[in-house]
Every structure is written in structure tokens, then in C-alpha cells.
Amino acid sequence: MDELQDRDPLHRHAAVAAPAAGTSPMDPPSAWAPPATAVVPYEELHPFLRRLVDEHAELTERLASFEATLQQIRTGGLTREHGASLRSCFEYFERELPRHQRSEERRLFPRLRQRLIERGEHGATAPLATGVDVLEEEHVRSIRQLAVANGFIGLALRLADAESGMTALAMGVEQGTDFVEGLRLHLFREENILFGLAQRHFTAAELDALLAD
């Protein structure tokens, strides 16, 4: 994560506003604690952005359930109940996560990317990169991690050899955990940096148009 912060335009967006005292290249801040943020209280967010935050809350709740099941499998093995819970989680994320991401990518991301470039909030080299590009890459990564986790766990259930099955299961649990941690951080970055940038750089009328789109 620290390497990502060093080259991350999204992290720079947060830092430009008000660099935090006491930070240095030798002691980079955590990805969970950027040196400055564009956080806007939920009550002050435009309804379009509040709707995205509400969807994040549901995703976060399901992430907690998925994470708990993975932890139980890691410590006690896979049971029938765990299998049912995993199926429910995978079905939910495979249905709802792409839908949520498509909404952001179609409505918010292109317009905000263009606005950030217009305001000079982008990388120094061509092609011009913004924090939006970082988050769009994270969308792709999360879908890939979810698919790999589902594939390994499904393979574990089909393998006749017990040792091979345990290996596949362990890999599936590891990929699932990476998915949980990555998506949780991604949602945090959107809510604590990106949505604040959208609130600041768009007029109420422009956000109304996104809501109606």
C-alpha cells in the first residue's frame, strides 16, 4: 500500500489541500489516514453522492459477513453452513458490485476525471492520470479477486484428493480476504476523498443532472 501511495494521484489530491504536519517521505502516512481529506458530512452531501454512500454501507455490511465466514473456515474448516454463506455472499457481490461500479463509471467518473484535469489536479506526465483512474483500476482488481476466490473455493469442493482440495480452499480464502481488504479500502477512499472532490468541483445543478441520468 505504501508504494501505491508514493505514485497515487488520489493520495496527492488529498495532500494538496492541506499537508499534514509531521509527515515525511521516510514515514509515509497510512492509506487509511491520508494527510488531508475532502470529507463532507453525510448530511451535507448531494443526494446523488448520498445514494452512493448508502450503497457502500450495504456492501460494507456484506463484506463483514463474508470476512467472518472466511475467518471461520480458516480456523475450523469448511462446513455445510459455511458453504451456504459463501454462495450467498458470492451471488450478492457478483450481482451488486458490478452494478454499483457501472453506475459510478458511467455517471461520476468520466465527468470528475475531466473536471480534475481542467483544474490541474492530475499527474505530471501524459497520459494525464487522476485519482479517478486509480479507483477505476481498483474496480477491475476487485472483480478479478472475487472471481479468483470463487474459482478456487469451487475447485476445492470438486477435487477428490483431500490435500489438493485443502490447498485450493486455502488459496480461495486468501484471495477472498484480499478482496475484502481491498474493497473496504476502496470504499473508504471514495467516501473520504473522491466524493468530497465531486461535491467541491461540481455545482448543485451538475450533481442534479448526474442523479437524473
Q: What is the pLDDT of residues 158-213, one digit of tens each?
A: 999 999 999 999 999 999 999 999 999 999 999 999 999 999 999 999 999 999 88
Please list the pLDDT of the chain residue by residue as tens digits (213 residues): 444 344 455 555 554 444 444 555 445 557 777 655 668 899 999 999 999 999 999 999 999 999 999 999 999 999 999 999 999 999 999 999 999 999 999 999 999 999 999 998 887 776 778 999 999 999 999 999 999 999 999 999 999 999 999 999 999 999 999 999 999 999 999 999 999 999 999 999 999 999 988
pTM: 0.84
* Whole-number pLDDT of residue 124: 74
Helix (H) or strand (E) holding 207: helix 204-212
The radius of gyration computed from the CA coordinates of the chain, to the nearest angstrom, equals: 19
pLDDT at position 49: 98
Domains parsed from the chain with CATH numbers: 45-212 (1.20.120.520)
| Cα gap 102→19, rounded to integer Å | 33
pLDDT for the residue 129: 86
What grid cell was written down for 177? 480476504
Picking from 68, 60, 49, 53, the residue whose alpha carbon sits closest to that of residue 93 is: 60
Mean pLDDT of the chain: 87
